[in-house]
Structure 1
């Protein structure tokens, strides 16, 4: 049989590609803006050493910084998204490298500002704020700077740290290029006996195959490929962790995790409470694993059997057009304003839909303040891909509402709340499907999928979070991270989270090697907290209607105008207690029981 292959970028229909020309009409325009930013860098000299002179100078400096930030955001986003279209394109590799280097220069050029503000007497700053109404715009930003006083270094040291920034990004950049541009997987046979090239994009599709042999082949082929460079992956991840630890020590934090959490002003107890609460509900996770083993009629449940739908005969094929319609229907409870913007995103080339050779794997939402948001997908005509569309458009509409309501300074929302909008969309779409589905087999299939969202977003991401905390502790305590001990730590966590009813195939111990989020440390726990907050919002929207929608849209529109914990609290969700996580996991327990009844 003829082997299926990935299409080249040129073979992808134009209608399913995003339109990055909405940021820069051409590479030449990008070059002009690049040159303009290089000139703007020099203007910092007239502010350095003079911020305490008068309020006009301080305001002018803030406006210069904001202008620089807005422009470098566009320069970097355009270059990186162009590169993501096909990572093998040398010209866009070069543009991304140049944009990254320029971003470091921007950071370095403005690195004097925070130390100077901290050196200014509180009386002088208060005098400025009392006499210059324009400074009111910067109140929250100034408060955020002043609270970090003990972690800000001298102007010279801040410049040095800013210049080191490019080196600190190297492990993530090396991983990305190796993982996306250089790594190729062998071909395997699909259910029809066709030879198909395994890719990161179609891996999960293979893992959902009704044939265990296909799942096993995909699983073993993927990890054997990563195994060939296991020591390289370990060295790269180790370097990334050392970078995290270096920055935490340089900024006088007790640990890398506390340095990371402080950016959102999230107490460490929120992180630890998440792990503890999830551990409370691990018996429910193990119950779900037992149900999976029984429903699949397997004598042995392997790690490659974790993703396959429990109800294989109801496998749903969902085209991209179908996916858009399902998402739109599911999100109607959010109101006409929301769904009109959603439709605009579908029709005005916000989205890059299909996988092609060299394209970055996975999915994300990005964009700039002056452009509309963008979404990168690798759509596979599956239910999972439909939910990915809902998820990423949640991010994009969060960005849209925030950009519309907030000035650039406060438009970018913090990562802690970033996953709320995306997972709320998934929850509402799922609730719509569960409400409309009458066929018990399809209903069981959907409940299984919903359980998988809980497993993947709360249990799995919390396991990742626990792994990150453990491996950072090893380095902070003077230990070394090798492929062997990374794999041992990861394997042991899988044993705790999945229980005794699943066989821990040796390959799973290497899964850490392929997770890109580990290069953005202490990020993944926010998927779990965000999912929990999203379930709380979804229940309120479906139960209360318009008042809850109004609170939610206000939350989406708030950007980073306050600390994320406070924004959620104002909207009715208190993440400083274990209640949202516990309530979400009680929904999980109820779904397990419901599925047990359907399958009895």
Structure 2
């Protein structure tokens, strides 16, 4: 399919470029049959209540819980994938809504278990952890004991579980306001044409070479947010207060400590990240100055930060070419890795092209019992190729974890989730840069690299600072008013991007459009993950086999150890500032290359 063709209905598309979900469920009827058995399986789990007193009973419960988790995962994943195929279709919507509701019910039904286990005497718990009959769940039990001071009684845990949907209401309110109710004024471009502004096309408009269009879209977009800023502030304040209240109830010193405790990440990792990025802010100021110089502007405004630096790049790739580019990029990871990527391409793990109603964007999703599937909306751009490399990294991580770990340890944590994807992305751009000497195309590639750093390290760290301060304000009893949130955000933008950037008044409302803020203390993981990926990809290209071996072992660890320990195994210690410092050193070298390349134009 060419990107110039009109979107087709899904049943009109070539099935060779659609994912094959039959290894998970043969069809929707098979999913329905499995769904029908879910209540009985959840009910069987509740029969363990009051019996969890020794290694045998706890082991039986954990085995049953693993089986239930696998079933829930299969049912949820299939429904989610089917919904993504065509968001208008009733079948996928219905399956997704039903399994989501069942998941919440199941979590509430089994919420008795952890507090019941942790109510046992400390000496008994230590004996149970050491018992060989629980060897398959030893790390699970050790992790559970670590969280004992923050686990409530069984009735309290059940009460909190039943409030799951209610505590998610602020996020739903913000999502609905953005997706359904927020309307933006149409604008004119430099030729006088009327252009619609929407939440989905805004970033694309900000990447337009037409500065008049960028500015008008920017003003229109944030006018919409300004008109609803009180509602956004109330929704966000509700989310923050919900998190801080739960942290207090669970005896954590802060909502940040609670959010990081699940993965056993110390607060120093967060603080080291912010300190390292702030230390390297002059490099970002240099990049902003270079952007201003290349664009030939007297003033660089916020609506110029995504503008293309070298005009439109006309290069387009077929899907077959994209496959070869990805395979070439991952060659340093070894023959086995490349063969696995070929398998993904050949066995239809990927849903390639857009169709009417298909979910936008891209993701990787799978279960212990399925292939790790990839959704993309391939249009032939270099960004589309990079997206395939990125999502293939996720899928390779999932495949290695699933094939080297038992089901209870297969799921890796969110802290390491973006590492493999970004390693692949970096290997792709490094491979392209190695071959490209033509100044304009090379500058385009270097700018892509710099933008990745800007968006994933600098910008996400700025978001992390915003979250840290917003939650701190709530914990100190300060009001999260629109003025307070707007002022905090605008100040951070000024600090992170420096004196060469004109920070327009509209910028203060940008925080309201960041959905990740409703998942507290998540965004910093993008920055640490990217920094880790830079270190790993550099080591793979420089050291070769020893680094590749460590990396493949890391991919195979799943959730069998704490994420910092897994990354140490790969050769990266995020308990120190060094990986972030090294990554930002790489940013400075790329920036220097871009400055020299621009001088040749």
Name the SS of the counterpart of 2:237 in structure 1.
Answer: helix
CA separation in 1, counterparts of 2:385 and 2:535?
A: 22
1:4 and 1:196 in contact (8 A); partners too: no
Residue of structure 1 in register with 2:438 after alignment: 439
Moved more, 266-275 or 97-106: 97-106
- The unaligned stretches of length 5 or more in structure 1 are none
Q: Map 1:97-496 to 2 at 5 A.
A: 97-128=97-128, 133-180=132-179, 198=197, 200-312=199-311, 314=313, 316-355=315-354, 359-496=358-495
What are the Cα deviations for residues 376-411 of structure 1, in whole angstroms up to 9, with x where unaligned?
Answer: 334444333322222222111111111111111111
Q: Say what the alpha-carbon RMSD is for the aligned residues.
A: 2.7
Partner SS state of residue 417, structure 2: helix
Tell me the SS of whatever aligns to 1:312.
coil
- The answer to whether the Cα contact below 8 Å between 1:5 and 1:196 also exists between their aligned partners in 2 is no
Deviation at 1:430, TM superposition (A): 1.1
Superposition TM-score, scaled by structure 1 size: 0.92
The Cα of 1:565 is off from its aligned counterpart by 0.5
Deviates more, 1:26-35 or 1:423-432: 26-35
In 2, distance between residues paired with 1:115 and 1:511?
A: 41
| Matched residue, 1:41 | 42
Q: Residues 94 and 319 of structure 1: is their aligned pair in 2 closer, same or farther, counting only changes over 3 Å?
A: same
The answer to whether the 8 Å contact 1:201/1:355 transfers is: no
For residues 482-517 of structure 1, what are the alpha-carbon distances to aligned partners after superposition, in whole Å with 9 as ceiling and x for unaligned?
Answer: 444322222221111111211222332222222221
Q: Relative to 1, partners in 2 of residues 1:397 and 1:176: Cα closer, same or farther, differing over 3 Å?
A: farther
TM-score (norm 2): 0.92
Give the conservation status (yes or no) of the 8 Å contact 2:59–2:137. no
SS at match of 1:375: strand
After superposition, the C-alpha distances for 1:93-140 in whole angstroms (9 at most, x for unaligned) are 443332222112221222122112212234434544555x34111111
CA distance in structure 2 between the partners assigned to 1:259 and 1:465 by the alignment: 15
Cα shift readout 1:403-432 (whole Å, capped 9, x = no counterpart):
111111111101111111111111111111
Match of 1:62 in 2: 62
113-122 or 225-234, larger mean C-alpha shift: 225-234
- Partner Cα separation in structure 2 for residue 122 and residue 306 of structure 1: 56
CA distance in 2, matches of 1:175, 1:348: 39
- In terms of mean alpha carbon deviation, does 193-202 or 434-443 score higher? 193-202
Note the C-alpha offset of 1:35: 2.3
Pairs aligned (count): 596
Aligned residue in 1 for 2:567: 568
CA deviations on 1:325-349 (whole Å, 9 max, x unpaired) are 3222111111121122222223333
Structure 1 residues 184 and 85, CA gap change in structure 2 (3 angstroms): farther
Q: For 2:152 and 2:574, how far apart are their aligned partners in 1? A: 31
Q: d(CA) in 1 for partners of 2:89 and 2:597?
A: 51
In 1: Cα distance, 2:358 partner to 2:474 partner:
34
* Preserved contact between residue 550 and residue 570 of structure 2 (Cα < 8 Å): yes
SS at match of 1:448: helix
Deviations 1:136-176 (A, max 9, x none): 11111111000111001111111111111122233334444
Partners of 2:129 and 2:142 within 8 A in 1: no
